[in-house]
A and B are shown apart, each in its own frame.
Chain A
Amino acid sequence: MVDVAFRQGSVAGVRSPRKRSGLRLALKRRSTVAFLMTLPLILLISILVLYPALYSLHLATLNKAMSRFVGLGNFEFLFKRETFWLVVEQSCIFAISAVIFKALIGFIVAHFVHNVPTKGQRKWRGMLLVPWVIPPAMSTLAWLWLFDPSYSAFNYTLSFFGIGPIAWTGDAYWARFSVILVNVWYGAPFFMIMYLAALKSVPEQLYEAAAIDGANWWQRIWYVTLPMMRNIIAITTLFSLIVTFANFDIVRILTSGGPLDHTHIFATWAFRVGIEGNDIPLGASVSLFMVPILAIAAIFILRDISKRGNEA
């Protein structure tokens, strides 16, 4: 009504109803509202995830000073470097062995927790999940101290058994072992929790039927438990492969990639080369090498998720 009063000389009356309700209607329409609600999410992902991913492709094609285009020059350079292939090999061994151990330990421990009467399970679960709760940077520091060349508590204990001091982070092979050990320590609880939830979802009667059919304990696991858990095992394993492959914290703090680059993985070497070495394009190239492997894993996950949707 106010705007009518201010409009000198214009026809007295209500403002054009069609225009106002048109905008209102548009705002109320479900798809508009929905779009607006997802807009921040879409913006966040486009600008800070998708765009940088593509940008790194561009960066990888520049020279160190980022002044001219060198095409695949960075990649050629990397392929000739022995350290690069060392990094590739180490990343793969690291990821695959760590995930296998994490899955195995997680599966076994989940079974033990499941065997215990339900009342007591909570406290065991609580204790066994602690490694996952502590920020990995902090717990890796503890491991670093446990592995210290001069003061290692492990070496102290081992000396009582006559086993000589082990260079946990100093010797190349022991360093690799240590890195995998810390990663398994940190990641196994996650597998344990996921598998425990899956174990609980297998109906008890299936086990009873199998027992009557004549299956002993490992036959029950092989014929009943594993098939029922196939989906969750596949999904967690693939996810963990991706995440372990791209891990940074543990290697950086424990060994900084040493000794002599024998524990470097993609993430830490990219950091060394790109940030510390001030060669952004080269670092981008190193990081990009993770993409093909991650893409393949992502495809498998997608297929598994849609298969899970259909099978349920």
Chain B
Amino acid sequence: MSTMAIDKGAPTRKVKYGSMSRDRAWALRWSYFFLTLFAIFSLVPPIYMIITSLKSSAEISAATNPWWVFHPTLSNYIELLTSNQFLTFFRNSAVVSIFVVTITMLISVPAAFALARMRFWGSATLATGVFLTYLIPDSLLFIPLFKMFAVIGDWTGIQLINKWYVLLFIYPTLTVPFCTWIMIGYFASIPKELDEAAIIDGASWFQTLTRIFIPVALPGLIAATIFAFTVSWAQFLYPLVFTTSADQLVLPVGIITTLIKGDVFNWGQIMTGALLGAAPPLIIYAFLMDYYIAGLTAGATKG
């Protein structure tokens, strides 16, 4: 029975200790300090957008303190919200986004259900494959897609270039893979016993999907819908390539190409337009922040 020698092997010295709870309080204070710094960094651009949008052109060119509004005015807002062109942009964005969200969910949900639940030959490969296609960026595909649609337009006589509805075909390539991925995750987390209970109760596959899986995985559905909407709304490259006439443009492209006329930048209006363009995602975020984040963390994605 050996008792181990009590030897430290390292030098000991008399150390003076501060209070542990005081240390923790200080750590907390530093955390708040840095968090405030980062919060300021994050919020400066949007706040600046708000400030500028309330300024008249005169005040902007007067080059007074850019961080303060001396004579706030809503004229920018009124001008934009009564401008037919701007409203067309807004409408186009809204229509495209809503359609794309619908199309996306119609494609993703059944596919996710099949991949998550019904084991069939190749399902695992297909699931990974779906995920990988998400890695093929829009900046690789925009040129061949442009040519493809031009060619199809020539063959069929249907005008496809410079039409907003073309985007309805293209946007889903951005939203469907990831939404399918999200839904596979949510569906897979539903216990198998629920399926079995449903089968015993006499449900077909379709009924199992609509009456059990969709309600139970509702948070996932909401998260996927929000994701699809936000991606569609914010798209810039594809609409820039495929739409050029003012009445076909969506909001991001519209603001940039029409509010910047030549060398004259009407910053007041540009910032107002940008703010209004950022409003829908921000509003959704404000009310549904948890779903927003859930969609994000369901898998590593854009960033």
Contact = CB atoms under 8 A, between A and B. Distances in A.
* Direct touch of chains A and B (CB < 8 A): yes
B176 A30 contact: no
Contact of B111 (A40, A157, A194): A40
Given A128-B42, A131-B45, A275-B143, A153 B176 contact: no
Contacts of B297: 193-194, 197
A31 B120 CA distance: 6
B120 to A, nearest CB: 4
A41 B129 CA distance: 11
A153 B299 CA distance: 37
Contacts of A86: none
B142 interface: yes
A179 interface: no
A42 interface: yes
B135 A128 contact: no
A122 B293 CA distance: 11
Interface string A44-64: 110011111101100100000
Contacts of A246: 137-140
B39 to A, nearest CB: 5
Interface string A127-146: 11111111111110111011
Contacts of B240: 252, 271
Contacts of B32: 116
A136 B274 CA distance: 10
Contacts, number: 293
A143 B41 CA distance: 12
Nearest to A280: B147
Contacts of B129: 45
B143 A131 contact: no
A56 B234 contact: no
Contact residues on B (Cβ < 8 Å of other chain), bracket: 35 or more
Nearest to B239: A137
B35 A109 contact: yes
A137 B111 contact: no
Nearest to A29: B120
Interface in B52-109: 52, 60, 63, 65-67, 106-108
Contact of B65 (A131, A156, A253): A156
B110 A294 contact: no
A215 interface: no
Contact of B35 (A113, A132, A197, A287): A113
Interface string A277-312: 000100110011011001001100110010000000
Contacts of A49: 133, 136, 141, 173
Q: Which of B34, B106, B142, B300 has the most CB of A within 10 A?
A: B300
Contact of A38 (B46, B114, B173): B114
Interface residues of A, number: 100
Nearest to B150: A280
Contact of B236 (A249, A283, A290, A301): A249
A30 B120 contact: yes
Contact of B107 (A40, A128, A249, A253): A40
B302 interface: yes
B303 interface: yes
A153 B236 contact: no
B107 A44 contact: yes
B46 A137 contact: no
A130 B31 contact: no
Contact of A45 (B63, B130, B205): B130
Interface string A16-49: 0000000000001011011101101110110011
B42 A53 contact: no
Contact of B132 (A113, A136, A302): A302
Interface string A154-176: 00110000000000000000000
A284 B278 CA distance: 32
Interface stretch (A77-85, A222-230, A232-240): A232-240
Interface stretch (B11-19, B212-220, B281-289): B281-289
B246 interface: no
B233 interface: yes
Contacts of A232: 300
Contacts of B39: 124, 127-128
B282 A133 contact: yes
B236 A59 contact: no
Given A31-B121, A126-B289, A253-B256, A137 B241 contact: no
B48 A248 contact: no
Tell me which of A55, A133, A270 has the highest count of chain B C-beta atoms within 10 A of its own C-beta.
A133
B191 interface: no
Interface string B125-167: 0101110110111111111111110000000000000000000
A142 B139 contact: no
Contact of B275 (A115, A138, A156): A138
Contacts of A55: 144, 147-148
Contacts of A102: 303
28 contacts: A37-B110, A48-B170, A53-B144, A55-B148, A108-B34, A109-B34, A109-B38, A112-B35, A128-B35, A133-B281, A133-B282, A137-B236, A137-B252, A137-B277, A138-B255, A145-B52, A151-B66, A185-B41, A185-B42, A193-B296, A243-B301, A248-B139, A248-B236, A252-B240, A271-B142, A275-B142, A291-B140, A305-B128
Given A112-B35, A283-B143, 20 more contacts: A34-B120, A38-B110, A38-B111, A38-B126, A41-B108, A51-B148, A52-B145, A122-B289, A125-B293, A127-B39, A134-B46, A135-B277, A151-B60, A156-B66, A185-B42, A243-B137, A243-B303, A288-B140, A298-B132, A298-B135
Q: Nearest 3 pairs between A and B by C-beta?
A: A190-B303, A135-B234, A246-B137
